[in-house]
Amino acid sequence: MRIAQDSKDLPGKWYNIIPDLDFDIPLPMGSSGYPLSYHDLEPVASSALIDQELERNIQEVSIPREVAAIYSDWRPTPLYRAEKLEQSLGTPAHIFYKYEGVSPSGGHEMNTAVPQAYYATLDEGVKRLVTATANGEWGISLAIACNYFGIQCKIYMVRSSYDQKVHGRYAMEMLGAEVVPSPSDKTGAGKKILSQDSNSPGSLGIALSEAFEEARSRDDTKFSWGTVMNHVLLHQTVIGLEARLQLRRADAKPDIIISSVGGGSAFGGLIFPFYKERDQEIKMIAVETAAAPSLSNGRYAYDYGDAEGLSPLLKMYTLGHSFVPPGIRAGGLRYHGISPLISALYREKQIEARSYTQRQVIAAATDFARAEGMIPSPECSYAVRAVLDEALDCKQKKKSKNIFFLMDASSNFDLAAFRDFVDEVVEDQPSLDKEVQTALSQLPEVPAH
Amino acid sequence: MRIAQDSKDLPGKWYNIIPDLDFDIPLPMGSSGYPLSYHDLEPVASSALIDQELERNIQEVSIPREVAAIYSDWRPTPLYRAEKLEQSLGTPAHIFYKYEGVSPSGGHEMNTAVPQAYYATLDEGVKRLVTATANGEWGISLAIACNYFGIQCKIYMVRSSYDQKVHGRYAMEMLGAEVVPSPSDKTGAGKKILSQDSNSPGSLGIALSEAFEEARSRDDTKFSWGTVMNHVLLHQTVIGLEARLQLRRADAKPDIIISSVGGGSAFGGLIFPFYKERDQEIKMIAVETAAAPSLSNGRYAYDYGDAEGLSPLLKMYTLGHSFVPPGIRAGGLRYHGISPLISALYREKQIEARSYTQRQVIAAATDFARAEGMIPSPECSYAVRAVLDEALDCKQKKKSKNIFFLMDASSNFDLAAFRDFVDEVVEDQPSLDKEVQTALSQLPEVPAH
């Protein structure tokens, strides 16, 4: 059941959580061990985005008129109450979810792609954005946004996805983006990997290294992050800001808020506005894949965002930048680290983390699809598993709670995943302890000052 | 740019166009040459749907409360003005489109799947619906709707799609539907085909024959049509009824209305409410694929809806029920006939028809996607080609017109089509004249009374 929607729920400002935290968010650092300044970041990032990344005092950032006009093409996104699911579970809990799948790309990534493309037009001489993508959800979003503002778009796509998940590649190319399989022989980082393994399937970390290198080497090109960074989470707060108003209208204060986490941008955008205004305890659960359990099994340390150490060092829960997660359907959750903001909240015990294997999420996703008539994306299925666990816990304890979660994308862009659900062919990976230990032993040594 | 949406735009009644026509709509007929009665149709169809199919006097049919509650999960669907496309074309025309891709299945098919599943619950002893699907869009919609109402769902899926377009199959199975590749050895019709060609790739006509046969043979099972029939077009009028109110709010009277046509249900649902209320001439264009040009190249005659002659005879523009359209990406447009209502309107010169080849629609779909940030489905790309032609005609004549078209689905469920767009690997079929002549020579002979 859709909660009544009102175009006035679209906020005029994004919410920067940092001033409201009573602990520090460590700054990005260079390998020299000094915090990076505006000027250090300038060669790769748009100036407005650097300001947003480093901002520690201003709580609200106005959404530019040009961005708001595009947001309003699909925002506010709908909020649903999953009554049919509640009934099928026989739970006294009330389950709500916000659905970001109505965006032009079918996912929440549009929320940051649009402002990033817009801000690129404000920097003199900038004509191109370069980024990295795995399955293509982020690349498609950035390609669409670049078209809106007449910016060129170059995308390094993980080679195994480029070869297998061809729909993502073709969609980006149809949208006019230049798509290069990574590792490529176009960059030093790519050549280095290929010299070690000419058949390398690539990884998001490698693709990020190639994109960084290109952004550094060209004055007309800036790098674009799809997740992890503060400014990306800032843009994603439109999700939580809208949801807060929508839930208020439904007279439902959330007791539990749940989202899957890959880099952490959807989760952050969802919970920050609730974190600020909570007048009661809210359990906030970040759900990871057991194939890349950064919060659950990682170390809180400065590490690189990419495989080759070209990105800034970020203080985050990480499995080590050399860790390559096993192949799972939920490609959006395959990343070695997690947003510094989410990492700090976890460090301070403000949020909880939980991880599931692929096999554990299959039944939950199927239950949800049959009750609600909407098939969750592979990534969102992890959140759905946690939602069902919490709802069944309410049933057992005969206690009603408001459970609110994020459906961050439509399922449509990763249909091959359905085969796993139906045939239950999923093999859960064996323990990753050894791989994680190896990668953690390769964390960069950062000089102390 | 989205035109402001208002939940009040969702109509309370569907619109039956037949009483407003000043010409007759021929009734479905048996092979004996007599019009079919309620009782003739009862073995295969739900009683409420038979009433709606045969209704010739009542203009409005109330949407049941149970159906309206589900419609409101995604309806009213958004209406957009394609300003960025107008600018890129440099046309004085104003281009509007209604987007049905926000439904749970991603397409307009949900509009009739929901009432069909609901009405099945009203007939005593009915527990199952059986249908036929090509790529799966219709089957997914019906599977979702059946879950809402606790009805079982059985789907005969064209074997070539079952093998190749596996995402559709897996989605239906994840939703709990039973999916059988057609031709199967489960029905007489299927066995007959297999005895002639054990490797038959199947066709929608064959799958329909199998589904009919099953519905006839089981008391607990009714057949469900995805398009063609009057009652399906009736349900689809929610599209046009909403659009009329939305365009009025935008102060835009449409001069030209455009939609792709396969069986004709989306087109009919779009134009009927405008047909009734027009106080000026509106050019209404049905856009076909040149691979199945029923209106442009077919004959107006009684013909079967399925391959084996198990369905009622319908008076329609048809290429002959034995005609098998060549394989094209827009599987939803591959059908030998077209709705009797649309056929009659065309016969009476109330609407226009136009056909394009695959190659002709590729550039148009790409132009649209890059300007508007939304990739049209393969089916909708045919309409987009006509929209661009009309908009460029306005440019040449320096005349502003309001062009309104239907984006009847999200593109996401047929992503392989992108490859054709990007690589331009599409080979347009040679002339189909010979195949059409052969099929037309096999039209049923209907006794005159």
Q: Would you say residue B417 has pLDDT above 90?
A: no
In the prediction, which pLDDT does B116 show? 98
In-domain check, residue B449: no
- A371, A377, A381, A387 alpha-carbon torsion, rounded to 10°: -60
CA distance B165 to A301: 45
A224 to chain B, closest Cα gap in Å: 18
In the prediction, which pLDDT does A413 show? 44
What does the pLDDT look like over B231-284, one tens digit per residue? 999 999 999 999 999 999 999 999 999 999 999 999 999 999 999 778 788 999
Q: Would you say residue B425 has pLDDT above 60?
A: no
CB-CB neighbors (< 8 A) of B173 in chain A: 418, 422
Q: Would you say residue A423 has pLDDT above 60?
A: no
Q: Which of B145, B174, B418 sits opposite A171 (nearest CB)?
A: B418
**Phi, psi dihedrals of residue A133, rounded to the nearest 5°:** -140, 155
Element (H, E) at A448: none
Q: Would you say residue A430 has pLDDT above 60?
A: yes
Q: Which of B148, B170, B413 sits opposite A373 (nearest CB)?
A: B148
Q: Would you say residue B419 has pLDDT above 60?
A: no
End-to-end Cα separation, chain A, in angstroms = 56
Across the interface, do B415 and A418 touch by the CB < 8 Å criterion?
A: no
**Phi, psi dihedrals of residue B211, rounded to the nearest 5°:** -65, -40
B243 to chain A, closest Cα gap in Å: 16
**Parallel, antiparallel, or unpaired for β A352-356 and A283-289?**
parallel
- B277, B281, B282, B287 alpha-carbon torsion, rounded to 10°: 130
Confidence tier at A434 by pLDDT (50, 70, 90) = confident
In the prediction, which pLDDT does B435 show? 80
Across the interface, do A413 and B415 touch by the CB < 8 Å criterion?
A: yes
In the prediction, which pLDDT does A440 show? 82
CA distance B171 to B177: 9
Contact A141, A110 (CB under 8 A): yes
DSSP letter assigned to residue A375: P
Among the candidates B223, B242, B275, a domain finishes at B223
Q: Which of A78, A145, A375 sits opposite B171 (nearest CB)?
A: A375
In-domain check, residue A445: no
In-domain check, residue B39: yes
User: How far, in Å, are A42, A45, A47, A226, B112 from residue A39 at the CA level?
Assistant: 5, 10, 9, 22, 59
Q: Would you say residue B406 has pLDDT above 60?
A: yes
In-domain check, residue A318: yes
A116 and A82, same domain (yes or no): no
CA distance A203 to A197: 13
In-domain check, residue B44: yes
The CA angle A111-A112-A118, to the nearest 5 degrees, is 110
B191 and B259, same domain (yes or no): no
B109 to chain A, closest Cα gap in Å: 14
CB-CB neighbors (< 8 A) of A106 in chain B: 410, 412
Q: Quick one: which of A262, A181, A177 has its CA closest to A227?
A: A262
In the prediction, which pLDDT does A438 show? 84
CB-CB neighbors (< 8 A) of A410 in chain B: 106, 410, 412
Among the candidates A188, A223, A258, a domain finishes at A223
In the prediction, which pLDDT does B73 show? 94
Across the interface, do B5 and A2 touch by the CB < 8 Å criterion?
A: no
Q: Would you say residue B163 has pLDDT above 90?
A: no
Q: What number is the average pLDDT over the span B215-230? A: 96
Across the interface, do B69 and A2 touch by the CB < 8 Å criterion?
A: no
B399 and B427, same domain (yes or no): yes
Q: Would you say residue A419 has pLDDT above 90?
A: no
A70 and A30, same domain (yes or no): no
Task: Give the chain B residue whose CA is nearest to the CA of A167.
Answer: B415
Among the candidates A167, A200, A223, a domain finishes at A223
B259 and B379, same domain (yes or no): yes
Mutation choice for B interface testing from A3, A8, A9, A73 by most B CBs within 10 A: A73
Across the interface, do A104 and B374 touch by the CB < 8 Å criterion?
A: yes
In the prediction, which pLDDT does B422 show? 53
Q: The domain containing residue A345 runs over which residues?
A: 65-106+230-440
B59 to chain A, closest Cα gap in Å: 29
In-domain check, residue A132: yes
B40 and B69, same domain (yes or no): no
Mark out chain B residues that contact chain A at CB-CB < 8 A: 1-2, 4-5, 7, 69, 72-74, 78, 80, 84, 102, 104, 106, 144-145, 147-148, 166-167, 170-171, 173-176, 365-366, 369-371, 373-375, 410, 412-413, 415-416, 418-419, 421-422
B363 and B239, same domain (yes or no): yes
What does the pLDDT look like over A20-32, one tens digit per residue? 999 999 999 998 8
Mutation choice for A interface testing from B79, B415, B419 by most A CBs within 10 A: B415
Q: Would you say residue B375 has pLDDT above 80?
A: yes
Task: Give the chain B residue whose CA is nearest to the CA of A173.
Answer: B422
A249 and A289, same domain (yes or no): yes
Q: Would you say residue A363 has pLDDT above 90?
A: no
Q: Which of B171, B173, B369 sits opposite A175 (nearest CB)?
A: B369
Q: Would you say residue B411 has pLDDT above 50?
A: yes
A127 to chain B, closest Cα gap in Å: 17
Contact A368, A374 (CB under 8 A): yes
Across the interface, do A415 and B418 touch by the CB < 8 Å criterion?
A: no
What does the pLDDT look like over B18-46, one tens digit per residue? 999 999 999 999 988 899 999 999 989 99
What does the pLDDT look like over B86-120, one tens digit per residue? 999 999 999 999 999 999 998 999 999 999 999 99
For residue A262, give the CATH number of its domain.
Answer: 3.40.50.1100
Bigger pLDDT: B201 or B11?
B11
**Parallel, antiparallel, or unpaired for β B221-223 and B128-133?**
parallel
- pTM exceeds 0.90 for this model: yes
Confidence tier at A427 by pLDDT (50, 70, 90) = low
Percent of chain A with pLDDT over 70: 96
Percent of chain B with pLDDT over 70: 96
In the prediction, which pLDDT does B283 show? 96
Across the interface, do A373 and B415 touch by the CB < 8 Å criterion?
A: no
Domain total of chain B = 2
Across the interface, do B176 and A84 touch by the CB < 8 Å criterion?
A: no
A382 and A296, same domain (yes or no): yes
B335 and B370, same domain (yes or no): yes
User: Quick count: other Cβ atoms within 10 Å of Cβ A440?
Assistant: 18
Q: Would you say residue B329 has pLDDT above 80?
A: no
What does the pLDDT look like over A5-58, one tens digit per residue? 788 899 999 999 999 999 999 999 998 889 999 999 998 999 999 999 999 999
Q: Which of B170, B175, B422 sits opposite A174 (nearest CB)?
A: B422
A394 to chain B, closest Cα gap in Å: 24
Confidence tier at A435 by pLDDT (50, 70, 90) = confident
Task: Give the chain B residue whose CA is nearest to the CA of A145.
Answer: B373
What does the pLDDT look like over A311-352, one tens digit per residue? 999 999 999 998 888 777 777 888 899 999 999 999 999 999
In the prediction, which pLDDT does A415 show? 52
Confidence tier at A163 by pLDDT (50, 70, 90) = confident
User: How far, in Å, are A19, A138, A210, A311, B362 from residue A227 at the CA level?
Assistant: 20, 9, 17, 14, 33
CA distance A17 to A22: 10
Q: Would you say residue B413 has pLDDT above 50?
A: no
Mark out chain A residues that contact chain B at CB-CB < 8 A: 1-2, 4-5, 7, 69, 72-74, 78, 80, 84, 102, 104, 106, 144-145, 147-148, 166-167, 170-171, 173-176, 365-366, 369-371, 373-375, 410, 412-413, 415-416, 418-419, 421-422
What token pair was written down for B336? 């030998």
B51 and B72, same domain (yes or no): no
Confidence tier at A375 by pLDDT (50, 70, 90) = confident
In the prediction, which pLDDT does B423 show? 57
Amino acid at residue number A274: F
The structure tokens 């195994």 sit at A160
B179 and B273, same domain (yes or no): no
Across the interface, do B73 and A80 touch by the CB < 8 Å criterion?
A: yes
Q: What number is the average pLDDT over the span B300-308? A: 93
In-domain check, residue A8: no
What does the pLDDT look like over A106-137, one tens digit per residue? 899 999 999 999 999 999 999 999 999 988 88
Across the interface, do B106 and A371 touch by the CB < 8 Å criterion?
A: no
In-domain check, residue A14: no
Task: Give the chain B residue whose CA is nearest to the CA of A151.
Answer: B370
Contact A138, A379 (CB under 8 A): no
Across the interface, do B167 and A415 touch by the CB < 8 Å criterion?
A: yes
CB-CB neighbors (< 8 A) of A421 in chain B: 170, 174
Burial tier of A166 (Cβ tally within 10 Å: 0-12, 13-18, 19+):
middle
Q: Which residues pair with A210 in a beta bridge?
A: none
Average pLDDT, chain A: 91
